[in-house]
Structure 1
Amino acid sequence: MKRICLTGTAFAALAMASVPASADSLVEIEATHVDTSVPMPTFAVDAGWPMLPENLTLGQSPGLAVDRDDNIWVLTRPNSLDFTDTGADSGLSVGCCNAPPHVLQFDQDGNLLRSWGGTDLAPGESTITGQGRDAVEEGDEQWPANVHGLYVDNDMNVWIGGNGAGDHVVLNFTADGEYIRQIGTRQNTEGNMSERWLGNPADIHFDGESVLVADGYINKRIIEFAANDLAFEHLWGAYGEDPDGGTRDGVFDQSQASSTGDGGANPESRSFGDIVHCVTRGPDDTIYVCDRRNNRLQVFRETGDGVEFLQDVVIADGTGGTRSASDVAFSPDGTYVYVADMMNGRVWILLRDTHEVVGHFGRNGRYPGQFIWLHSVDVDSHGNVYTTEVSTGRRVQRFVMTGMSE
């Protein structure tokens, strides 16, 4: 095992050769090379990225996507900010800050290109009375009460899910925030075998032929719809079998993400745990599913008859709390798998052919290159890695690929 701790100065020449990054903003990160028989990508965090407008501050950021042009999209929750964060909005502060829109697009330099979001962009209208878990909604508003999950497809259309009260919907918009269509309807859910209704979807992946949804905060399954008309195609649970893990009782709240009410992680469970957190298409017709509360990925392959289960990939066995497997991304050449580990505050680097651990970077903490409630991970065409954080983390980070550790 080799521990790597390299400085931004040492990386400057390599970083500048491939992507825009200032040597002054590159900061060393903590990384460990576990399997030294395999080269491992190395990174420095760009502490100057992104460059938010001076009047904005990020909320919890549960969604992340890199588009075909290497722009970076972030889904954030303005409703997660309070009056101390957004004093300018409330008039309580003569300085900063304002809440951001839900959807933000940045270029490689970290400049904000476009931003949008909110109830005016989706069909329907609702009135909410009360606060917190006692809030009552009346109406048919389709914008999620609590956004969760973001995907940007090759046509530059944006897909958004929600895991708040009644958020049983996936919405589809143009890059400028014009509503296109949706899967499911808010306030309507009917369990794991439903072919039309969702149950607090966590993640989305669209490949031009079909839409995959990790339907995973109330339900415990993956469901697939046709690309052209969103007709139902297929659904499955753990090991490609019918989803038989039941559904969550009542409305999900954040405290349940770290509870032990499920008895703890069970990487050998025949059912998905109570948060099916991501679905991602990988190389060679594979599909990766984050069974976060069971500390594992499940890997499938699409076939003419549906899906074939390939492998359990256990991530940090024995992890408790918020558990480990939160999101998955791939290096541009498909050699490496990056797994966001929420509880341990690190990004695991696996060799895709074997899913053996090559190493990891990051740790729990609030400084650049560290994580609090690490949520999402994605990779651009240069091999740079991006992450977002929720709860009190509330940020997006950019890790510049700087070479390979032999």
Structure 2
Amino acid sequence: MKTKGCGGALALIAAVVLSSPFWPSMEMSAQSAGPALNGPQFEVDPSWPKPLPERWVTGELGGVCVDANDHIFVLSRANLYPGISEIAQAAPPVMEFDQTGNVVNSWGDRQAMAEQLHGCSFDPQGNIWIAGNGDGFIQKYSRDGKLLLQIGVKGKVDSADGKLKSTFLNASPVSFYSPTQVAVDPANGDLFVSDGYGNKRVVVFDRTGKFLRQWGRQGTTAEAAAGVGGAFVNIVHCVVLGNDGLVYVCDRNGDRIQVFDKTGAFKRNIPTPIVFRAPYTGNGGAGSLAFSRDAAQKYMYIGDFSDKLIRVFDRVSGKELSQFGRPGSHQLGGIASP
């Protein structure tokens, strides 16, 4: 992948290439969905990644994150298209790529991990945290795949009967309902979990997994339009800690990033209004978030789930600067689920 301008958040940019079940096969530059303004510009590298070994084929990709060595870790689900599994092999749950696109390591036990792997992030010690839509737990692994900590129990969610498709409780101090991402506070190791597809909250634990606090509830589109903090329209889809000490949370179907301090006090909204559909429809305008890698984190890169593009914002002002990508999953620059 190649970038122009200020250094970008490699994890999210990699996700542009990797978000579909297919590896790119057509040389085509990413096209902006709107006029480029003052934000950094990106183009897809058609040589990245290199062909996967051993007839591996990815399913849906549930997350992309980058370690301190700029190695790119990709989460692959096992949901291959019908007939593919008969002639190829599902890629391992976690694949590690170097900057040139070679697979340098892979690992993961699907029986121990969530079926719908969702979101990954690294802590300052180099461990990787993985969440999972469709289950009730999060996991901490060493970068080479050793399970170090699990919060929650596989197969049991925070619902009325502990099962999926039951009424969410938004209450458990020991389990989740389809959590989507984990962010680790570098100051003290506290864990911030976006929970998720079932629950509508952010949950905080200490580094050992002890429950500390939570905030958030089911919201309405009217509340989202009015800017009410802590009310999530549907899916709490990401959580990221900024260098400014604030907590940035994707209110995906509320078409906004909600910003809190670490205690859960609401600070502000960053609206991400979708362009090609009516507000609060489709998959939502705030699907994923990453910051530029400069110390000031000048730019935010936000994946728009409805319009299928990446939008670049100035972090401080919340002003949108530029966009890139295009809908689709069969050619370079195409974005399926950013």
TM-score (norm 1): 0.68
Q: Residues 197-346 of structure 1: matches in 2 within 5 Å? A: 197-208=175-186, 209-227=189-207, 229-237=208-216, 243=217, 245=218, 266-268=224-226, 270=228, 271-302=231-262, 306-317=263-274, 318-319=278-279, 320-333=281-294, 334-346=297-309
Quote the Cα distance in structure 1 between the aligned partners of 2:252 and 2:104.
Answer: 32
One-letter code of the match for 1:31?
A: S
| 8 Å contact from structure 1 (residues 147, 160) kept in 2 | yes
> Deviation at 1:13?
10
| 8 Å contact from structure 1 (residues 188, 197) kept in 2 | yes
Q: Secondary structure at the match of 1:86?
A: helix
Q: What are the superposed Cα offsets for residues 48-79 of structure 1, whole Å, 9 maximum, x if unpaired?
A: 2111226111110011101111111111101x
> Deviation at 1:290?
0.3
> Deviation at 1:144?
1.5
| 8 Å contact from structure 1 (residues 33, 360) kept in 2 | yes
Flag the 1:35–1:363 CA change in 2: closer, same or farther, 3 A.
closer
> Deviation at 1:266?
4.0
Q: What are the superposed Cα offsets for residues 186-245 of structure 1, whole Å, 9 maximum, x if unpaired?
A: 314252232222111111111342111001111100001001x211112111xxxxx3x2
| 8 Å contact from structure 1 (residues 287, 300) kept in 2 | yes
Quote the Cα distance in structure 1 between the aligned partners of 2:30 and 2:4.
Answer: 17
> Deviation at 1:373?
2.4
What is the match of residue 74 of structure 1?
Answer: 74
Q: Secondary structure at the match of 1:297?
A: strand
One-letter code of the match for 1:285?
A: G
Q: Secondary structure at the match of 1:230?
A: coil
What is the match of residue 145 of structure 2?
Answer: 177
| 8 Å contact from structure 1 (residues 202, 215) kept in 2 | yes
Q: What are the superposed Cα offsets for residues 357-376 of structure 1, whole Å, 9 maximum, x if unpaired?
A: 111001112310121222xx
What is the match of residue 154 of structure 1?
Answer: 124
Of 79, 92, 101, which aligns to 1:110?
Answer: 101
What is the match of residue 29 of structure 2?
Answer: 28
Find the structure with the greater CA-based Rg: 1
Unaligned runs of 5+ in 1: 1-7, 20-24, 89-96, 123-142, 238-242, 247-261, 375-406
> Deviation at 1:347?
0.4
What is the match of residue 390 of structure 1?
Answer: none
| 8 Å contact from structure 2 (residues 59, 77) kept in 1 | yes
Q: RMSD over aligned Cα, in angstroms?
A: 2.7
TM-score (norm 2): 0.81
Q: Secondary structure at the match of 1:293?
A: helix
Q: What are the superposed Cα offsets for residues 120-144 of structure 1, whole Å, 9 maximum, x if unpaired?
A: 5x3xxxxxxxxxxxxxxxxxxxx32
| 8 Å contact from structure 1 (residues 61, 74) kept in 2 | yes
One-letter code of the match for 2:273?
A: A
Q: Residues 2-41 of structure 1: matches in 2 within 5 Å? A: 27-31=28-32, 36=37, 39-41=38-40
Of 371, 392, 406, which aligns to 2:335?
Answer: 371
Q: Percent identity?
A: 32
| 8 Å contact from structure 1 (residues 362, 370) kept in 2 | yes
Unaligned runs of 5+ in 2: 11-25, 160-168
Q: Secondary structure at the match of 2:177?
A: coil
Q: What are the superposed Cα offsets for residues 136-189 of structure 1, whole Å, 9 maximum, x if unpaired?
A: xxxxxxx3232222122232212111122xx10001111121111111123142
Flag the 1:265–1:64 CA change in 2: closer, same or farther, 3 A.
farther
Matched, 1:45 2:48: no
One-letter code of the match for 2:185?
A: D
> Deviation at 1:26?
7.7
What is the match of residue 355 of structure 1?
Answer: 318
One-letter code of the match for 1:371?
A: I
Quote the Cα distance in structure 2 between the aligned partners of 1:335 and 1:347.
Answer: 16
One-letter code of the match for 2:32?
A: A
Following TM superposition, the consecutive aligned residue runs of length 4 or more in structure 1 with deviations greater than 6 angstroms are: 11-15, 262-265
Quote the Cα distance in structure 2 between the aligned partners of 1:286 and 1:28.
Answer: 35
Flag the 1:41–1:117 CA change in 2: closer, same or farther, 3 A.
same
Quote the Cα distance in structure 2 between the aligned partners of 1:265 and 1:100.
Answer: 42
| 8 Å contact from structure 1 (residues 12, 26) kept in 2 | no
Flag the 1:68–1:102 CA change in 2: closer, same or farther, 3 A.
same
What is the match of residue 189 of structure 1?
Answer: 158
What is the match of residue 404 of structure 1?
Answer: none
